[in-house]
Amino acid sequence: MDNKHIEQKIVDTLKVNYMPYAMSVIVSRAIPEIDGLKPSHRKLLYTMYKMGLLKGQKTKSANVVGQTMKLNPHGDMAIYETMVRLTTGNMTLLHPLVESKGNFGKVYSRDMKFAAPRYTEVKLAAISEELFKDIDKDTVDFIDNYDGTMKEPMLVPSTFPNILVNPNQGIAVGMASNICSFNLREVCKATIAYIKNDDFDLLKYLKAPDFSTGGQLILNKKDMRKIYATGRGSFKIRAKYRYDKKSSCIEIYEIPYTTSSEAIIEAIASIIKSGKIKDIIDVRDETDLAGLKITIDIKKNSDPDDIMNKLFKLTPLQDSFGCNFNVLIGQKPMVLGVLEILDYWIQFRMACIRRKSEFDIKKKSEHLHLLTGLSKILLDIDKAIRIIRNTGQESQVVPNLIKGFGIDKNQAEFIAEIKLRNLNREYILRQTADIERLKNEIEDLKDIVAHDARVLDIICSQLEEVSKKYGQDRKTEIIGEDSIEEITPDDFIEDYNVRIILTDEGYVKKVPLISLRSAGEHKLKDDDFIIQEADTRNKAELLLFSNKCVVYKVKVYELPDSKASQLGDYLNNILNLETGEEIIKMHATEDFTGHFLFAYQNGKMSKVPVSSYETKTNRKKLSNAYNAISPLVGIFFLEEDMDFAAFSSIDKVLVFNTSQIRPKATRDSQGVWVLKSKKGSTLRKILPLNETNLNDPEYYRANVPAIGCYLKEEDKEDTQIGLF
C-alpha cells in the first residue's frame, strides 16, 4: 500500500480544526452573557420553568437532569453539577436560583460531596420568577435546540442585573471570566441612580462586592474604583473569627469565598508542625448543621488578635479575588467596567420592555377589533339571531353576518361562537364596555414604545420592586485598609533579651539572658578571649566592622541561640570573610540612632550617624564602612556627645568633647583633625575619658584640633590600657 504524505500548513490546520472549538468554548460554554447566565445555566433553568417548577412541589433532581438533556446534550453529572452551583444548599450564589432539599455539598468545602441526583429534590427559587418575567410575550429571541424539536431562549429577560448579583467564573480558550457578586439592593440602587443621573459616584451606591460566604472585605477605594472602571483588578477578603475565653480557642465562622475550610486547616496544621507560631496548639474542623466552624486551640494568655493577624499573612484565611469582568455581548467577549455592564444591561432591558409592549399592543388590538364587531350587533341583536336562524347552511352563517353588519371575517367568527345564553343585551354591553379601556391601554403602550423615558421609568420601578421583595443585608462586611495591622516578617520573630559575645578569634555567641542567670563561665577556645559583650534584643540588628573597611549586617534572630557552655558560631563561616579579615568591633541596634566615632592614626576623626548604615534593601555587606587612608585606631558608639582622651605616640594627651566634631553622613569620610602631629607623631590610642585614670583631666583639655599636653608622671601607669 502506498503511503502518501499530505503536507499541511500548521496555520491552516489550526484554523480548520482548532478555531471552531475555541470559538465554541468562548461563545457557548464558559463566558456569561448579559443576563448573567452561561448556556448550561440557561438551558437548565428554562427546562425547570417549562416543567412548572416555579410553583408547586419540588421534583427529583434526576427528573430535571433528564428533561434538561433535551436542550443540553451533555452527561447527566455535568448537568447535575451545573445545577448544584445554583442551589440554596450549596451556597455558591448570593441569591440562589434553585430551591433545594437534600445534600448539595458546600461552596466552602472542597471534600464535602453532594448526594446523587436520585436523592435530592429541587424547584425554582422565588427570585427565578424575575428571570422569566414576560418570557412568553416575545421579550427575547428563541432558537431551535440541537435537534430542532424544541425552542429555547437565547437570553432570559431578567428584570434585575443578575450578571452583577450572582458570581460567575469560567475558563475559555485563551481567555477567562471571573465576576464577583454584588449586593442586590446596592446593584438596584446604583442602576436606578445611573439611569436618573449619568454623573454620579458609583462607589457611593455600590460600596463593594458581597459574597455568599460572608467574611470581611478590605476596601481600598482607589483599587475598587479601578475595578469598577476597567473590570480588572483584585481586592482582599479575610475570614471572620471570635475568641472563646473559657476554652482558649479561636472560632473561625466565615471564610473567603475563594478558598475552602480544608485548605485553611491544612495550612494551619503545617504552621503548627513547623513551630512557626508557637502559641497555636491544635486546629480542627467543627463544621456542623449550624454551619462552618474551624476551631484553633491556643495557649492561655496568648493574644488571639495577634495570632489571627499572623495567620492572615500565612494562610488562605486572607485571600485575593482577581476580577476579570469578561461578558459576551452579541457573541463577542468584552472585558467591561461596571457602568459599561449596566449600559448593556439597560439597553437589553429596554429592548425587552419594548418587545413586550409591542406584543401587548398586537394582542389588545386584536381583542379590540373583535369587541368593535360585537358592539355593532348590539344595535340589533334580533337581526343577528334572525340571520343565523334563517341561514340554511352552517358554512353560510359567517358570510351572512359579514353582509348583514358590515364586519370582517374574524369579527363574524367571534360573534358566531357566542353561546346562545350570552346573546343578551347585558352580556354584550359588559363586553363592549372594555372598548374604551383597551383603546387607552393601546395608546399608553404605543407611548411607551415611542419614548425612552417611559421605558426607563418602568425599569426603575421594576428594580425598586425586586429590591424590596428580594433584597437582603450585606453578608460581607467592609473594613477600611487603615484598620488593618500590616504584618511584616519581623512579627513572626520571638523577641527576648540576649547577650552577644565577640571573641578575639572570631567567634560570636548569642545567649538568651534567661539562660545566662544559671550559667557558669563562657566556654572559649584555648588562648581565645572575649573582646566585646553587648546586651540587646532578638529583633535587633548587628553591625560587625572588619579590619578591611567593611561592615557586615546580621539580624540577631538569624544567629542561633547558644549557651555559655558552647563555643558559639565562627564568623568566618557566617560572613565568608576574606583571608586576613577579622571582626574588630560589633554594635547592636534596634533603631539606628546615635553616632559612631572613628579615630585614625593620622590624628583625624569622623563622627558618622548610625543611620548611615541603615539600608532599605536587606543588604548583608557594606563596603567603605570607614576611611582607609590611615590605619584605624578605634571605633566607639556615641549615644550622645561625650569626653574622650587621645594619646599620641610621643605621650602627648588631648582631652576633648565629641560635640566639637561635626557629623558627616558619608560613611568613609576622612574626618577632621583632632590630634595635631608634632615631629611626625601619630595617634596611638583613644579612650572614653571615664575609662582613663587621669588625675587632672582638665589639664589636658583643649579645643580641637590641638597637639595636647605631655603626659604627667603620675598618670603614666594608665598607659597599659588596650586598644578598645
Instruction: Give the residue numbers annotated as catalytic, written as ranges.
Output: 119
Bridge partners for 182 per DSSP: 209
SS3 693: coil
Long-range contacts of 59-66 (CB under 8 A, 24+ apart): 59/121, 59/122, 59/123, 60/117, 60/118, 60/120, 60/121, 61/102, 61/117, 61/118, 61/120, 61/121, 61/122, 62/117, 62/118, 64/122, 65/117
Write down the residue that cell numbers 350587533 correspond to.
377
Phi, psi (5° rounding) for residue 558? -75, -20
Parallel, antiparallel, or unpaired for β 551-555 and 530-537? unpaired
Contact 184, 95 (CB under 8 A): yes
| Nearest Cα to Cα of residue 304 among 240, 246, 248, 256 | 248
Residue 130's nearest CA partner among 104, 100, 166, 171 is 166
Using CA atoms in the order 466, 468, 471, 473, what is the torsion angle rounded to 10 degrees?
160
DSSP type of residue 484: S
Q: How far apart (Å, rounded) are the C-alpha atoms in residues 145 and 156? A: 15
| Residues shown for the chain | 724
Kindly state the helix (H) or strand (E) to which residue 327 belongs, with its residue range. strand 326-329
Residue 270's alpha-carbon distances to 40, 112, 251, 287, 294, in angstroms, are 39, 22, 18, 20, 15
Task: Give yes or no for a contact between 704 and 656, defined as CB atoms under 8 angstroms apart.
Answer: yes
Contact 662/642 with Cβ under 8 angstroms?
no
What are the phi and psi torsion angles at 410 (to 5°)?
-60, -45
Determine the 3-state secondary structure of 607 from DSSP: strand
* Unique residue bearing C-alpha cell 473569627: 241
